A and B are shown apart, each in its own frame.
Chain A
Amino acid sequence: MSDYLVQFNNISKFFGKVIALKDVTMKLKKGEIMCLLGDNGAGKSTLIKTLAGVYRPDEGEIIVEGKKTIFDSPKDALDMGIATVYQDLALVSLMSVTRNFFMGREPMKGPPFFKTFDIEKANKIAAERMGQIGIDVRDPSQAVGTMSGGERQCLAISRAIYFGAKVLVLDEPTSALGVHQASVVLKYIVKAASQGLAVILITHNVHHAYPVGNSFTVLNRGKSLGTYEKKDISREKLLSMMAGGEELNKLEVELREMNRSPTN
């Protein structure tokens, strides 16, 4: 059974009387991309924060590489190799690519007490890493603010991988992006998974999730509506399973009605 890299079993989280999450189970193998789908208010944010170690689940267990663990802080999760890339990406747009890449984890050189930030090495690694994903950063000392949204997303993911992530938790990585940018990011996510990472992709966009995901978990009002292998479910079925799907069907009907009855 422990060929799973990470397992979240029957995770529940309550805030007072509010049941934010109830019995959510997710299991990931190496190289697998699981898409977590849900409309706004489905409990995605709570789940992300639980995965990242910000919240402690009130029920359920987290098993990483066969060992049962408890995350007391985001640092614990990170130390276990579970890296979360939030929507704000934790990038400072006024700072350079390199300074962002190594923010908080700067490579050092020099004798003890006189250690300095090894900016040459950092520049080299940052440029190399960005180059590997096909982003030419011309000059790694340029500000992140000059990069496109997709490039920033890739930078944040690349940084997480460089610092030893085994499980990547990506929070809406494509929501703010155009079609081309989104496809660049998705391509990069697939590539990361093919190198042995497990990826949890959180999104409300089925069209982005379906092509890249191996399995899909749909979340609705804090409960999991089940996990499906790609072969077992269609894009349309997924869409209608999300609360948004029903809404859209209703909307379609309503629009048809409107068209039928001629109005001014």
Chain B
Amino acid sequence: MSTKSKSIETKTDFNQDERLKKVSKLRLLLNRPELGALGGAILVFIFFGIVAGDTGMFSAYGVLNFLDVSANLGIIAIAAAMLMIGGEFDLSIGSMIGFAGICIAIPAIYWGWPLWMSIIFAFSMAVLVGYFNGILVVRTGLPSFIVTLAMLFILRGATLAITRLITGRTQVPGLRVLIEDDPLAWIFATDTFKWVFTWLGSMNLIALRTDGTPLATGIPPSVIWFIALAIITTWILMKTRYGNWIFASGGDKNGANNVGVPVGRVKISLFIGTAVAATIFATIQVLDAGSADTMRGTLKELEAIAAAVVGGCLLTGGYGSAIGAAFGALIFGTVSMGIFYTDVDTDWFKVFLGAMMLIAVIFNNYIRRKVTESK
């Protein structure tokens, strides 16, 4: 079932229009939305390979470090990208992260719930928040930018107010002891492939601590979630009916509706997706830090959107890719950590982030013109 032979077959069936140029493989590749982000990621690695190649950046510990940061951002960036392809924004992702953290911590610490129940509670709240965002946007027809901006303030404010009301503070520590033996928490808190690192350590291939255990103990859960989400969402977009509906809903809402795509339901589900992704992010971070902070996730929504845009998503919807957003997150994560290994002051990271996004938007705009260009 090779698609290649098939496309050649079909080509010979038709009389070729003499005005058409042959489309090269390269041009086909250039039409993929994630190309820019892939190229950017390669450039970033080459850059740090030259500038910071002899530092610890590319040791096992260093790599896991920047992968962890990339993966955390990537989890929400992928969801943000899916929503952007569906034609909407979610500015409440960052606030949802803070809110979800509190939804786990307060029941677990103050109400004596088992940790797994708190986690399920947080995810249920995420579904509710996402559904509320979605139904509001779909029903009112208001721009999601405004609706979710309101939600940004509401959620952050509610997180602060509720936490201070119940605990008298803005942080809730003491979760670490609850993780062990919890039937659910391990999904968000376990380093995997430990044996690989133990083995690598025993072969003296990676750096060891003074007690002989490797410095890098295993793949952090964020990275596993990130990779799994990237694969699943890419599969959804490319291979499922729902994926086609996402593109259609974002590309032309009315057109999609006219041919029977349930645009409203698609959009609501994507809003639930971003809220749930924010909660995955929050759960991983809360369990890793052992505490929840009401300010956690501040400005993350903008980083997620930036990564999605660098990954090839158009701000107008209908175009983009999940794997592109994953590369976008990888670029940001690598640079934000890599900058420590160079002589450059870390203050410059934000400058880089902004410049990168600007270049990406200009590039995307050009690509869109190419794609929709009439012959």
Counting chain A CB atoms within 10 Å of each CB, the highest count among B16, B28, B241, B261 belongs to B241
In the complex the two chains form, what is the Cα distance from A242 to B11 in whole Å? Answer: 46
In the complex the two chains form, what is the Cα distance from A42 to B7 in whole Å? Answer: 47
- Whether A146 contacts B373 in the complex (CB less than 8 A), given A95-B247, A105-B260, A106-B244, comes out as yes
In the complex the two chains form, what is the Cα distance from A91 to B253 in whole Å? Answer: 10
B242–chain A nearest beta-carbon distance, Å: 9
A-facing residues in B253-294 (Cβ within 8 Å) = 254-256, 258-261
A95:B3 contact, CB within 8 angstroms = no
- Whether A95 contacts B251 in the complex (CB less than 8 A), given A116-B239, A117-B241, comes out as yes
Q: Chain A contacts of B259 at CB under 8 A?
A: 90, 103-105
B-facing residues in A107-154 (Cβ within 8 Å) = 108, 115-117, 119-120, 123-124, 127-128, 131, 136-140, 142-143, 145-149
In the complex the two chains form, what is the Cα distance from A41 to B3 in whole Å? Answer: 50
Which single residue of chain B is at the shortest CB-CB distance from A100? B248
In the complex the two chains form, what is the Cα distance from A131 to B238 in whole Å? Answer: 24
A-facing residues in B1-46 (Cβ within 8 Å) = 1, 3, 6-7, 10-11, 13-17, 20, 23, 28, 31
B16–chain A nearest beta-carbon distance, Å: 6
Q: Chain A contacts of B260 at CB under 8 A?
A: 75, 78, 104-105
In the complex the two chains form, what is the Cα distance from A123 to B314 in whole Å? Answer: 25
A136:B241 contact, CB within 8 angstroms = no
Report which of B1, B7, B14, B256 forms a contact with A131, defined as CB distance below 8 A: B14
B372 CB–A CB distance under 8 Å: yes
A93:B375 contact, CB within 8 angstroms = no
Which single residue of chain B is at the shortest CB-CB distance from A92? B251
In the complex the two chains form, what is the Cα distance from A240 to B254 in whole Å? Answer: 36
Which single residue of chain A is at the shortest CB-CB distance from B254? A88
B245:A94 contact, CB within 8 angstroms = no
B318 CB–A CB distance under 8 Å: yes
Which single residue of chain A is at the shortest CB-CB distance from B314? A94
B261:A103 contact, CB within 8 angstroms = yes
A136:B252 contact, CB within 8 angstroms = no
Counting chain B CB atoms within 10 Å of each CB, the highest count among A94, A106, A128, A142 belongs to A94
B333 CB–A CB distance under 8 Å: no
A102 CB–B CB distance under 8 Å: yes
Report which of B1, B11, B17, B255 forms a contact with A88, defined as CB distance below 8 A: B255
Report which of A75, A103, A128, A142 forms a contact with B248, defined as CB distance below 8 A: A103
B10:A146 contact, CB within 8 angstroms = no
Counting chain A CB atoms within 10 Å of each CB, the highest count among B31, B243, B252, B256 belongs to B252
A99 CB–B CB distance under 8 Å: yes
In the complex the two chains form, what is the Cα distance from A78 to B6 in whole Å? Answer: 33
A212 CB–B CB distance under 8 Å: no
A60 CB–B CB distance under 8 Å: no
Encoded as 1 (CB less than 8 Å from any A CB) or 0, chain B from 104 to 128 comes to 0000000000000000000000000
Interface size on B, as a range, is 35 or more
Interface size on A, as a range, is 35 or more
In the complex the two chains form, what is the Cα distance from A103 to B250 in whole Å? Answer: 13
A93:B372 contact, CB within 8 angstroms = yes
A245 CB–B CB distance under 8 Å: no
B13:A131 contact, CB within 8 angstroms = yes
- Whether A103 contacts B256 in the complex (CB less than 8 A), given A92-B248, A94-B318, comes out as yes
Q: Chain B contacts of A81 at CB under 8 A?
A: none
Which single residue of chain B is at the shortest CB-CB distance from A119? B239
A94:B371 contact, CB within 8 angstroms = yes
Report which of A99, A115, A145, A147 forms a contact with B247, defined as CB distance below 8 A: A99
B368 CB–A CB distance under 8 Å: yes
B99 CB–A CB distance under 8 Å: no
Q: Chain B contacts of A88 at CB under 8 A?
A: 252, 254-255
B368:A99 contact, CB within 8 angstroms = no
Q: Chain B contacts of A244 at CB under 8 A?
A: none
A89 CB–B CB distance under 8 Å: yes
B210 CB–A CB distance under 8 Å: no
B4–chain A nearest beta-carbon distance, Å: 11
B255:A138 contact, CB within 8 angstroms = no
B371:A92 contact, CB within 8 angstroms = no
B17–chain A nearest beta-carbon distance, Å: 6
In the complex the two chains form, what is the Cα distance from A148 to B372 in whole Å? Answer: 11
B371:A120 contact, CB within 8 angstroms = no
B319 CB–A CB distance under 8 Å: yes
A86 CB–B CB distance under 8 Å: yes
B258:A86 contact, CB within 8 angstroms = yes
Report which of B1, B28, B244, B247 forms a contact with A120, defined as CB distance below 8 A: B1
In the complex the two chains form, what is the Cα distance from A131 to B12 in whole Å? Answer: 11
Which single residue of chain B is at the shortest CB-CB distance from A127? B10
Report which of A89, A142, A147 forms a contact with B255, defined as CB distance below 8 A: A89
Q: Chain A contacts of B318 at CB under 8 A?
A: 92, 94-95
Q: Chain A contacts of B13 at CB under 8 A?
A: 127, 131
A138:B256 contact, CB within 8 angstroms = no
- Whether A146 contacts B255 in the complex (CB less than 8 A), given A103-B244, A104-B245, comes out as no
B244:A117 contact, CB within 8 angstroms = yes
A90:B372 contact, CB within 8 angstroms = no
- Whether A136 contacts B17 in the complex (CB less than 8 A), given A92-B318, A120-B3, A148-B375, comes out as yes
B374:A91 contact, CB within 8 angstroms = no
A1–chain B nearest beta-carbon distance, Å: 33
Counting chain B CB atoms within 10 Å of each CB, the highest count among A90, A104, A123 belongs to A104
